[in-house]
């Protein structure tokens, strides 16, 4: 089973995206970056169903 990671790419002064990609490389995880307010909630609801 692939784990889903929902992340705000602007977190960490905008450095999260690059660091998260490197941290999770080679693991059975899918990263989805949010695009705006409420997007993380929408993504989580979709993943849950």
Residue ranges of E strands in 1-49: 3-7, 29-33
Q: What is the pTM of this model?
A: 0.77
Q: Within 13 Å, how many C-alpha atoms sit on residue 22's CB side?
A: 5
| pLDDT 10s digits, 14-23 | 778 778 888 8
pLDDT at 1 over 80: no
| pLDDT 10s digits, 8-45 | 988 878 778 778 888 888 899 999 999 999 999 999 99
In contact, 9 and 40? CB cutoff 8 Å? no
Instruction: Note the pLDDT of residue 5.
Output: 93
Token pair listed for 21:
């990609």
């Amino acid at each position: 089973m692939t784990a889903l990671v929902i992340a705000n790419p602007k977190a960490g002064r905008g450095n999260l995206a690059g660091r998260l990609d490197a941290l999770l490389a080679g693991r059975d995880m899918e990263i989805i970056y949010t695009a705006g307010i409420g997007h993380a909630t929408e993504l989580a609801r979709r993943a849950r169903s």
